[in-house]
Structure 1
Amino acid sequence: MQTSECKLLVTLAEEMNMRKAAERLFVSQPALSQRVQSIEKNWDTQIFIRSQKGLTLTPAGEKIIEYARDVVIKEEKVKEEIHSLNTMVHGTLKLAVASIIGQHWLPNVLKQFVQKYPHAKISLITGWSSEILKHLYEGQVHVGIIRGTPDWKGVKHHILADTLYLVDTEIKSLDELQSTERPFIQFKSDSTYYQEIQDWWHRQFDHPPKRTIVVDQIETCKQMAFHGIGYAILPSITFHEDDPAVYKIPLFDETGLPAKRDTWLLGYESAFELKQVEAFMKIIK
């Protein structure tokens, strides 16, 4: 197969829907269907089973898609290696970043990157730290930025440590938590953040919060606390100068030091040899 056909099949396997794949590939749905039929004819086997619900891979199709994905990845790798031979920074910088970092820290860094290296491209994935590690292990990205202390054998750089605060529009001291009826607003996380908050709470109090509200995003948690719905524990990275006035009470760990959250940049040694990754590291430093 030609590389373009491999990319077509990979896109179809990602979407498992002819219409969505056609939109991504900027072709009409009939034209895409015709190309798939041509590829299947060349392989002399059916790759996809079509139905009203979408596409399903046949056993032979799974093998062919695996081959196509390998071709696409190898082509990208060769292109990156060729670009790295040039003095100008080219290629695509592939990042997987924890959502909170993508929202509050990364935009300023990427702004400087695109201004200084206009010929480089950026591919960005955001999500939970466990998802970031998965993308790294599978070789889908050059660099991952996660929250918490990572169990990583490759290259890792400490990016920042931000302090934790209890935030509320009414509560002025931690002593008030023992009697307040205000709900504790928490956000879901697969990192160690949730456990760290639980440990801190049990060191301070003998009983759990009287009322809790659990939301799916830290930004939702912040906005609810800032609008007076309840109190939350938030890292300082989420605060901005234009935020409304609220009480921010610093938390301390068991040693009496300010409670903090670490952010780490991870990657394999080979990735840091690429010029676009080297350029990104220069911006960070």
Structure 2
Amino acid sequence: MDERDWMVLQALYREKNITKAAQHLYISQPALTNRLQQLEKDFGVKIVNRGRRGVQFTPQGEYLAKSAHEMLLAMQKIRENVLNMEDNVAGTLRLGVSGFFTDYKLPNLLKGFKEQYPNIEFKITTGFSSHISHLIYNQDVHIGIVRGDFSWKDQKQLLFKETICIASKEKIDLHNLPHSPRIDYHTDSLLKNSIDNWWTEHFSQPPLVSIEVDKADTCKKMVANGLGYAILPSMILNDVHDIYKTDITDMDGKPIVRNTWMFYHKNSLKLNIVKAFVDFMEKEFKG
């Protein structure tokens, strides 16, 4: 089996559908089917059964598919170690990055890093911080950048802090928040819990949610157009200057803050590409 075969098994196991798996791998459906049939011939077992509900893996197929992640990770490490032997900063840096950081911070950082190390390529995975923390834990990425205080026992660096604030187009009396239209958005569980806990500490009735959107950036635009107030991390509001912002505080009057961290494994620093990026980020966010 070669690397492409393991990728076929991994994609098919995730999608449970040959058409979707082929699209993900950018190959034709017949090509994927032929490759799967060849694998079954090589191992002498049935790997999948096809039915109306899609693809179902046999016990042997389940074992092979679950082994695909380990095999692909091992191949990736071998490739990285070979490149590392040359003492050059080269190869593909795999980053897992929260959505906010991707939109507002990452492009300029990657540009600066690329200028220093032109032989670097990037593979970026974005998503909620809970997903990114899972990726770095499983070593699917070299470095994870997450927002919020997730549990992590290996190497980490605090990049920056930001307050959480109430944002509104017009000045708003905080005592009237339960009666004012609120715009909510999908976010990670840590931030949602912080906001929910703050609310229950200050109000006895639920918020009046009038609009729900999928992204914080969309929520910000709704606020800027006077459609309601929102509770948002302050940095997302840096490019909006005509709205009122009030930091929320705990019962002791201290601002509630959200930390952004860089997570990585200590062993990964043996790779020149990872060590270079960690050093670069430390300089960029120093102080």
TM more than 0.5: yes
2:252 corresponds to 1:255: yes
Residue equivalent to 1:135: 135
Q: Classify 1:20/1:115 alpha carbon distance in 2 versus 1 (closer, same or farther; 3 Å).
A: farther
Residue equivalent to 2:280: 283
Query: Contact 2:184/2:209 (CA < 8 Å) preserved in 1?
Result: no
Q: Classify 1:86/1:202 alpha carbon distance in 2 versus 1 (closer, same or farther; 3 Å).
A: same
Per the normalisation by structure 2, the TM-score is: 0.87
Residue equivalent to 1:199: 197
**Alignment partner of 2:180 out of 179, 182, 196:** 182
5+ long unaligned stretches in structure 1: none
Q: Classify 1:24/1:210 alpha carbon distance in 2 versus 1 (closer, same or farther; 3 Å).
A: closer
Q: Tell me which moved more, 139-148 or 227-236.
A: 139-148
2:19 corresponds to 1:19: yes
Q: Classify 1:46/1:186 alpha carbon distance in 2 versus 1 (closer, same or farther; 3 Å).
A: same
Residue equivalent to 2:158: 158
Residue equivalent to 1:79: 79
Q: Classify 1:39/1:192 alpha carbon distance in 2 versus 1 (closer, same or farther; 3 Å).
A: closer
CA RMSD of aligned residues (A): 2.4
Provide the secondary structure at the position in 2 that maps to 1:159.
strand
Residue equivalent to 1:273: 270
Q: Percent same amino acid among aligned pairs?
A: 35
Q: Classify 1:159/1:191 alpha carbon distance in 2 versus 1 (closer, same or farther; 3 Å).
A: farther
Residue equivalent to 2:114: 114
CA deviation after TM superposition for structure 1 residue 67, in Å: 3.2
Alpha-carbon separation, structure 2, partners of 1:259 and 1:29: 51
Query: Contact 2:163/2:255 (CA < 8 Å) preserved in 1?
Result: yes
Q: Tell me which moved more, 144-153 or 112-121.
A: 112-121
Alpha-carbon separation, structure 1, partners of 2:181 and 2:204: 17
Query: Contact 2:167/2:230 (CA < 8 Å) preserved in 1?
Result: yes
Q: Classify 1:222/1:87 alpha carbon distance in 2 versus 1 (closer, same or farther; 3 Å).
A: same
Residue equivalent to 1:125: 125
Residue equivalent to 2:226: 228
Provide the secondary structure at the position in 2 that maps to 1:165.
strand
Amino acid at match of 1:38: Q
Query: Contact 1:174/1:249 (CA < 8 Å) preserved in 2?
Result: no
Query: Contact 1:92/1:123 (CA < 8 Å) preserved in 2?
Result: yes
CA deviation after TM superposition for structure 1 residue 230, in Å: 0.4
2:64 corresponds to 1:64: yes
Deviation by residue 1:113-141 (Cα, 9 ceiling, x = unmatched): 23332322222222222222222222211
CA deviation after TM superposition for structure 1 residue 262, in Å: 0.7
Following TM superposition, the consecutive aligned residue runs of length 4 or more in structure 1 with deviations greater than 6 angstroms are: none
Query: Contact 2:220/2:237 (CA < 8 Å) preserved in 1?
Result: no
Q: Classify 1:235/1:68 alpha carbon distance in 2 versus 1 (closer, same or farther; 3 Å).
A: closer
5+ long unaligned stretches in structure 2: 283-287
Residue equivalent to 2:285: none
Q: Classify 1:201/1:30 alpha carbon distance in 2 versus 1 (closer, same or farther; 3 Å).
A: closer
Residue equivalent to 1:28: 28
Alpha-carbon separation, structure 1, partners of 2:84 and 2:173: 55
Query: Contact 2:133/2:150 (CA < 8 Å) preserved in 1?
Result: no
Alpha-carbon separation, structure 2, partners of 1:128 and 1:142: 17
